[in-house]
Chain A
Amino acid sequence: MWQFIGRRVALGVLTIFITTVAVTLLIHLVPGDPVQIMYAQSQGTTPEQIEQIRTSLGLDRSIPEQYVRFVGRLLEGDLGVTVRGRQPVLDLLLQRLPNTLALAFSAMAVAAVLGLPLGFLAAYRRGTMLDTALMTLAIAGVSVPHFWLGLLLLFAFAVELQWLPVAGTGPLNLVLPALTLGLSNAAIVARMTRSSMIDVMSQDFVRTAHAKGLPKAMVLERHVLRAGLVPIITMAGLQFAAMMGGAIVVENIFAWNGVGRLAIEAIFQRDYPMIQGFILVFATVVVVMSILLDVVYALVDPRIRRG
């Protein structure tokens, strides 16, 4: 168990380390002069000012020096300031992060609440019309783009029916984005659940349980469900990462004030300190969450707890 957690934490630390390196190099990969590009949109920046900015960003030093400086400031919780507005990047990101997390978690909840029972039902009724119908729905759900589903839901529930607000950041505003992100993921969860349950149902220990005369419900609950859930929980970390990624797009449809909107704005404005900060914060959240979810998985699966 500790060995397992140790390995996961080590991979996580490696990931964060590579992220810091990538983020430092990122600005040097920009074709052309990043400072010129950053300030191309603001009028009347003199060459002296450009040089001053270059110095303040540390771009006049060697790359290893820049890296050490970047990490040093990072450890003090300083990710620099935005190009326009000169606000602290980390504060802006941390202020918006709870909104993105709320969206990602509600979407995961939607996906689990819909996907798990429907997937289980399809596996249980395998080969029937119900199974075919559910799986057809699931593959359609996987294929519909978030951004289109979001617009359709917005059109139906906010514009036509006027049940829900169109845009903003409040509890009611969360409903449509969470559904948008959650529905397509419910389809993925349902597909995974079905195939995992079918796998388990055909195993010897399930046949033995039936053979020794256990009631069907008990076999399903004690044997099938428990064993079948393990591979699904394993995927929870990846699912969370996918939800965070999807949130970036969905936030922009519903004007939900999360980090994704900051990121897209920053890319348009070529605000490199903000882009760097976003990548770092996003990667850290994904790494920490997937380690936590893996620990949960280890607790559920005794085979890993022992090893």
Chain B
Amino acid sequence: MLADQTTADLASSPLETGRPEARSGFAARLFRSPGGIIGLAIIALLVILAVFADSLAPFSPTRMGAGRRLLEPSWRHLAGTDEFGRDMFSRIVHGARLTLKIGAIAVGISLAAGLTIGLIAAYARGIVEAVLMRLSDVLFSFTETLIALACVAVLGPSLENAMVAVGLAGIPYYARTAYASALVEVSKPYFEAAIAAGAGPVRLVLLHLLPNILPTMVVVATLGLSSAILAAAGLSFLGLGAQPPAPEWGAMLSAGRDFFNRAPWLMLYPGLSIALVVLAFNLLGDAMREALDPRGAD
């Protein structure tokens, strides 16, 4: 995630979510921002590529061909071919599927665990709160890279393990944000009213806290998708994630660097794909944040 977006910033945004007019205001503001629209367009393209990869890719992503090694980009091979004669365009199209899957699983893990920890800490207070949040602080200070590397070191290099590693590494950040947002809600009159009305812990957390911090967490998760995709591609680039012949963009970039001089397109297109997708989620996340909290917007 973008390091410039502090937990407190998001948590303090006065979100009015329950009312329909507030929600339509959100959509209107989102669609008025050029960044948000560009982000959504790129993400839509990514989803289309991922869903229809089999029909959109002109060739198999893994079929090799001795006669067409390291071909320059042409009409037949839009992004050229790699050292095994595989069509790079087809590999990039199939890579979209892996990229979405990696992002969804990693962010899913971070979000589910982070929400649980943050909500429990904000609701329970006392010793539970102290232990959970100090632990999150400690893990947060380790940086995501170190946690992800440690996880891969334990589990061994593979695409699945990289997804889990990136997901686990994100938990402290999501927990801190969920906690900070939930703390704001706990201090509001409606929450006290719900307690006074006799709502039990499950009802308080799931029906009162969760829906109210969800908008913030959706923004965090959107920005989180960009950093998760970036981190997983980084692991694959280092050889610790996706293994050959998987058409994963980071792994493709890493393989392409051996042909640096002869075939620069091998490192151009996978890198560009990662950058565009990361940019899209960053743009959308930024636009969503501003649409939720118009104070910061121009």
* Contacts known (A245-B144, A268-B239, A287-B141); A151 close to B154, Cβ less than 8 A: no
Q: Within the complex, which residue of B4, B146, B238, B298 is in contact with A252, where a contact is CB–CB below 8 Å?
A: B238
Check A9 for interface membership: any CB of B closer than 8 A: no
Check A152 for interface membership: any CB of B closer than 8 A: yes
Check A299 for interface membership: any CB of B closer than 8 A: no
| A residues 178-231 touching B (CB-CB < 8 Å) | 188-189, 191-192, 195
Number of A-B pairs, beta carbon distance below 8 Å: 138
Check A296 for interface membership: any CB of B closer than 8 A: no
**B interface footprint on A235-272 (CB within 8 Å = 1, 0 otherwise):** 10011011011101100110000000001101110101
Tell whether, in the assembled complex, residue A142 and residue B233 are in contact, meaning their CB atoms are under 8 Å apart.
no
CB distance from B118 to the nearest CB of A (A): 19
Chain A residues positioned under 8 Å from B260 (CB to CB): 151, 154-155, 159
Tell whether, in the assembled complex, residue B282 and residue A143 are in contact, meaning their CB atoms are under 8 Å apart.
yes
Q: Within the complex, which residue of A14, A148, A283 is in contact with B142, where a contact is CB–CB below 8 Å?
A: A283
Check B200 for interface membership: any CB of A closer than 8 A: no
**A interface footprint on B220-248 (CB within 8 Å = 1, 0 otherwise):** 00000010001001100111100000000
Check A176 for interface membership: any CB of B closer than 8 A: no
CA distance A147 to B145 in the complex (A): 14
* Contacts known (A145-B230, A145-B274, A242-B143); A267 close to B152, Cβ less than 8 A: yes
Tell whether, in the assembled complex, residue B4 and residue A147 are in contact, meaning their CB atoms are under 8 Å apart.
no
Which residue of chain A has its CB nearest to the CB of B35? A139
Q: Within the complex, which residue of B238, B253, B298 is in contact with A151, where a contact is CB–CB below 8 Å?
A: B253
Chain A residues positioned under 8 Å from B253 (CB to CB): 147-148, 151
Q: Within the complex, which residue of B156, B254, B264 is in contact with A155, where a contact is CB–CB below 8 Å?
A: B264
Chain B residues positioned under 8 Å from A275 (CB to CB): 150, 153
Chain B residues positioned under 8 Å from A267 (CB to CB): 149, 152-153, 157, 240
Q: Within the complex, which residue of A159, A245, A282 is in contact with B261, where a contact is CB–CB below 8 Å?
A: A159
Q: Within the complex, which residue of A26, A143, A279 is in contact with B279, where a contact is CB–CB below 8 Å?
A: A143
Count residues of A near B (Cβ-Cβ below 8 Å): 57
Secondary structure of the A side of the interface? Answer: helix
Stretch of B66-74, B79-87, B131-139, B183-191 with 4 or more beta carbons under 8 angstroms from chain A = B131-139
Check A302 for interface membership: any CB of B closer than 8 A: no
Chain A residues positioned under 8 Å from B149 (CB to CB): 248, 263, 267
Check B20 for interface membership: any CB of A closer than 8 A: no
Tell whether, in the assembled complex, residue A239 and residue B226 are in contact, meaning their CB atoms are under 8 Å apart.
no
Q: Within the complex, which residue of A140, A151, A272, A283 is in contact with B267, where a contact is CB–CB below 8 Å?
A: A151
CA distance A145 to B134 in the complex (A): 31
Tell whether, in the assembled complex, residue A18 and residue B145 are in contact, meaning their CB atoms are under 8 Å apart.
no
Check A99 for interface membership: any CB of B closer than 8 A: no
Check A75 for interface membership: any CB of B closer than 8 A: no
Check B28 for interface membership: any CB of A closer than 8 A: no
CB distance from A20 to the nearest CB of B (A): 12
Check A30 for interface membership: any CB of B closer than 8 A: yes
Which residue of chain A has its CB nearest to the CB of B135? A18
Check A161 for interface membership: any CB of B closer than 8 A: no
Q: Within the complex, which residue of B3, B152, B237, B298 is in contact with A242, where a contact is CB–CB below 8 Å?
A: B3
9 closest pairs, A vs B, by CB? A245-B145, A148-B271, A143-B279, A192-B4, A245-B143, A143-B278, A241-B143, A191-B4, A15-B138
Beyond A195-B4, A244-B143, A286-B141, 7 additional pairs, beta carbon < 8 A:
A140-B275, A145-B275, A148-B274, A151-B267, A195-B296, A241-B143, A249-B234
8 examples of A-B residue contacts, CB within 8 angstroms: A22-B150, A139-B279, A145-B230, A145-B278, A151-B257, A152-B267, A249-B234, A286-B146
